[in-house]
Homo-oligomer: A and B are copies of this chain.
């Protein structure tokens, strides 16, 4: 499968890149700094060196899947990239879009969103705009019914670690066997590439937890 990963050199993007590469897919890094990608993934790594928000249809429509692993210091850019990618692929059956969206959009058993808790605890933190914008991104995606999109959320504890065993769910927070809401980068990448190889969540958000 031809996979393009926006933000491939980030923590999460690089885990997804390596997982897809290890399974034999043809993976391209869509990044600002191509040399960093070649250092991480090998000299022969295909690279498109561009700001994420400058990517155009011509850069992207060569791929079977575009993974949005973009991380920005400007939180609104998460939403802007999502709306741009969607608008580029309206009524396009060829390319699938896979978004990585924060855990704050997951629901608790009582139906409220994790974001409600986060806002209660951290309303004045400088990083609060990021979970807010990522929740907007998930809300926005629910409106889109003519693009082949999916979105994967981690758990609130999203930590370095290899692929081991994991379970997936849909819109609710999940816990590992020790009762902790946690997923490793490796397990997250495993679940994401599983979904690319065997699509189960068409126009849906899903989530993954360490077993």
Identify the A interface with B (CB < 8 A).
53, 74, 76-77, 79-80, 83-84, 86-87, 90, 133, 136, 139-140, 143-144, 146
Contact = CB atoms under 8 A, between A and B. Distances in A.
Main secondary structure of the interface of A (DSSP, over half): helix
Nearest to A90: B76
Nearest to A135: B143
A182 B199 CA distance: 48
Nearest to A82: B83
A21 to B, nearest CB: 31
A83 B137 CA distance: 12
Contacts of A136: 140, 143
Contacts of A84: 83-84, 87
Given A83-B84, A136-B140, 12 more contacts: A74-B90, A76-B90, A76-B144, A76-B146, A80-B83, A80-B86, A80-B87, A84-B87, A133-B143, A136-B143, A139-B139, A140-B140
